[in-house]
Amino acid sequence: MSGTWEPVIGLEVHCELKTATKLFCGCRNAFGDEPNTNVCPVCLGLPGSLPVLNEGAVELAMRIGTALHCEIRPSVFHRKNYFYPDMPKDYQVSQYDAPINVGGRLELPDGSTVGIERAHLEEDTGKTGHIGGEGGRIHGAAHSLVDYNRAGVPLVEIVSRPDIFSAAQARLYAGELRAILVASGSSDGRMEEGSMRVDANVSVRPAGRAELGTRCEIKNLNSLHSLARAIEHEIGRQVALIESGERVVQQTRHWDEDQGRTVTLRSKEEAFDYRYFPEPDLVPLSPSADWVADVARSMGPMPADRRRKLTELLGEAAGGRTDQIVGVVEKDLEGLVEAAVAAGIGPALALARTANEASANPDGAREVDPISYVTILRLEQEGLLSATQAKSVLATLLDHGKESAALVAKLGEKGTPAEIAARLGFEALGDDSTARLVSDAVEANPGEWARYLEGEAKLAGFFTGIVMKASKGKANGKVVAAELERLKG
Ligand code: ADP
Ligand code: MG
Ligand code: ZN
């Protein structure tokens, strides 16, 4: 892409709320049930039926608003009128100019902040399945079937401000939003099941100009990977159009994952096309100040807060390790880092083992006995286990999950770390044997040794690698380094 263009992106995210029942009726809210079994006159839009608002859905919407630092306001439901076969009422009950959550922000792991315009409540539509065509597409299909189980499931639509400036940042935003939805208990955030769906509005403008360019909205982004790819592609398409003297036309476009391109779906509809009007069967919604305060009090810390806390704990060791910190918080494992640091393990080691070994087995790691976990880290820190050995012991320990305490206890909590290591069968290689392996490596590679003596310091890694291989990872790296220094004289 040409450097003279700046992409601008705003995301609209729909998420299904984790309520037991639908937004306006008592039908079950469940994914994957037998089609058309969770339906009733209300969600089928039969004449004479009346909606009753689900209090639990309102509470979850408020949780999302609180997590996103929105203002929770009195709101009004509107009918958004359009025809679609999977929407039995021919209108969708949504919120229009008076949404429940207004203003707000989301902090991303890279330190940037994206503004939130609003997060409003609405009902989901049903689902149409096309039969007989290729890959479930309508094109070439013999007939279509409609499943109304999803019709009336509560949704919150979260609309960002156009504060996102690259495909990578859009991906971070969607990932962070998903983490918040899950952490606040509002949604399960499963993109593959459609419980979180992202539309991306993309425009480009000459770098440095404040005015926004004409946008296209891309639908059908069902993974973070597709989201980033589709935006990247759309930016390229718009820049090419403008550079060839044409104009971007405001449109809704469909992302074709197989072809790796966006294609025109329809020209952009305007608000007036929907003939919004207040839903006459529902009263305005006005949560009491007490309710709003109760919701705020009941919320645990959000991922950004937890990353900040972990970063503070790590101090200098946090520098340049954002990815590890994000990963540990995402997997809910900062308790292990805290236990290790509290027991005197160096923050960098505590973070590294938790971000790598513990994160590789998150289920085991959530159940592991922290004292046992820290014991192994201490053995490594004291040089009684090489890094390779410590990783291997940790893998075994994590596999034992709940029984890890018993495992370490069986090995004998008593005794020095060296004795425990011996019982684990992972005693580090003695210094003498290590020294012998170092001199073997030097003798076998005279050319490299000569260059090392002449000052090619990075060859230390070459010799260490040989020694590690020969010792099957049992040698202590610090001893190898000291031995190389000693031989150098
Ligand atoms: P609509 O209701 O028609 O979808 P909105 O004004 O609610 O339009 O905006 C929808 C989304 O599009 C928001 O996330 C907003 O940030 C984003 N957006 C608006 N204008 C632009 C633009 N020129 N470029 C990129 N994103 C935009
Ligand atoms: Mg839109
Ligand atoms: Zn129903």
Q: Is the CB of 359 under 6 A from ligand 1?
A: no
pLDDT tens sequence across 404-447? 666 666 555 555 556 666 666 655 567 778 888 899 999 999 99
Report the pLDDT value the prediction gives residue 266, as an integer from 0 to 100.
77
Ion ligand 3 residue ranges (Cβ < 5 Å): 25, 27, 40, 42-43
Using CA atoms, how far apart are residues 421 and 390, in angstroms rounded to an integer? 10
Q: Give the residue-averaged pLDDT of 198-219.
A: 96
**Between 145 and 432, residue with greater pLDDT:** 145
pLDDT tens figures, 43-62: 999 999 999 999 999 999 99
Query: Could you report the per-residue pLDDT of 155-192, keeping only the tens digit for each?
Result: 999 999 999 999 999 999 999 999 999 999 999 999 98
Smallest CA separation from ligand 1 atom 11, residue: 10
Structure tokens at 395: 């893998």
> For the residues 84-109, what does the mean pLDDT come to?
94
Task: Kindly indicate the confidence band of residue 2, based on its pLDDT and cuts at 50, 70 and 90.
Answer: very low
pLDDT (0 to 100) of residue 435: 87
Cβ–Cβ under 8 Å, residues 46 and 202: no
212 lines ligand 1 (CB under 6 A): yes
Distance from Cα 147 to the centre of ligand 3, integer Å: 13
Ligand 1 closest atom vs CA 268: 3
pLDDT of 418 reads 61
User: In this predicted model, which residue has the larger pLDDT, 433 or 112?
Assistant: 112
Average pLDDT over residues 333-343: 96
User: What pLDDT score does 407 carry?
Assistant: 63
Q: What is the pLDDT of residue 408?
A: 64
Does residue 159 have its Cβ closer than 6 Å to ligand 1? yes
What's the pLDDT score for residue 227?
Answer: 97
If you take atom 7 of ligand 1, which residue's CA is the nearest one?
Answer: 159
Q: Please, what is the average pLDDT of the chain?
A: 90
Q: Which of 401, 306, 307, 404 is nearest to 361 (CA)?
A: 401
Rg (CA), the chain: 29
Identify the pLDDT of residue 1. 45
Is pLDDT of 92 > 90? Answer: yes
With a 6 Å cutoff on the Cβ, whether 9 touches ligand 1 is yes
Question: Which of 215, 239, 253, 270 for mutating ligand 1's site (highest number of atoms within 8 Å of CB)?
Answer: 215
Would strands 105-107 and 113-123 be described as parallel, antiparallel, or unpaired? antiparallel
What is the per-residue pLDDT across 286-323, written as a single tens digit (0 to 9) for each? 999 999 999 999 999 999 999 999 999 999 999 999 99
Query: Does residue 12 contact residue 199 with C-beta atoms inside 8 Å?
Result: yes
Task: Check pocket membership of 215 for ligand 1, CB cut-off 6 A.
Answer: yes
Residues 198-203 have a mean pLDDT of 98
Q: Which two tokens stand for residue 402?
A: 């709940």
What is the model's pLDDT at position 388? 84
- Looking from the CA of residue 212, the nearest atom of ligand 1 is 23
Asked whether the beta carbons of 51 and 93 are under 8 A apart, the reply is yes
The pLDDT of residue 72 is above 70: yes
* Ligand 2 centroid distance, CA of 145 (Å): 26
Q: Please tell me the distance between residue 9's alpha carbon and the centre of ligand 1 in angstroms.
A: 8
Distance between Cα 75 and ligand 3 center (Å) = 23
Looking at domain 431-488, its CATH class is: mainly alpha
Kindly state if the Cβ of 269 falls inside 6 Å of ligand 1: no
Is the CB of 12 inside a 6 Å radius of any atom of ligand 1? yes
Taking CA atoms only, the protein residue closest to ligand 1 atom 14 is: 10
CA of 472 to the centre of ligand 1 (A): 57
CA dihedral 349, 353, 355, 358 (to 10 degrees): -150
**Best CA proximity match to 36, nearest among 150, 152, 147, 151:** 147
Look at 206 and 427; give whichever has higher pLDDT.
206
Domain boundaries, the chain: 5-296, 303-423, 431-488
Mean pLDDT on 125-129: 92
State residue 457's pLDDT score: 87
Distance from the alpha carbon of residue 254 to the mean position of ligand 2, in angstroms: 13
> Can you give the pLDDT at residue 67?
97
**What are the residues whose beta carbons fall under 8 Å from the beta carbon of 123, sequence distance 6 or more?**
22, 23, 24, 92, 93, 94, 151, 152, 153, 154, 155
Q: Is 21 a residue whose pLDDT tops 70? A: yes
What share of the chain has pLDDT > 70, as a percent? 93
CA–centroid distance, 11 to ligand 3, in Å, is: 30
Q: Which ligand is nearest to the CA of 158?
A: 1
Bridge partner residues of 81 (DSSP): 91
CA of 338 to the centre of ligand 2 (A): 43
Tell me if 10 CB under 6 Å of ligand 1.
Answer: yes
Per-residue pLDDT, averaged over 460-467, amounts to 91
Instruction: Name the band, by pLDDT with cuts 50, 70 and 90, for residue 471.
Output: confident
Q: What percent of the chain has pLDDT over 90?
A: 69
Q: Which ligand is nearest to the CA of 210?
A: 1
Q: How far is the CA of 60 from the centre of ligand 1 (A)?
A: 25
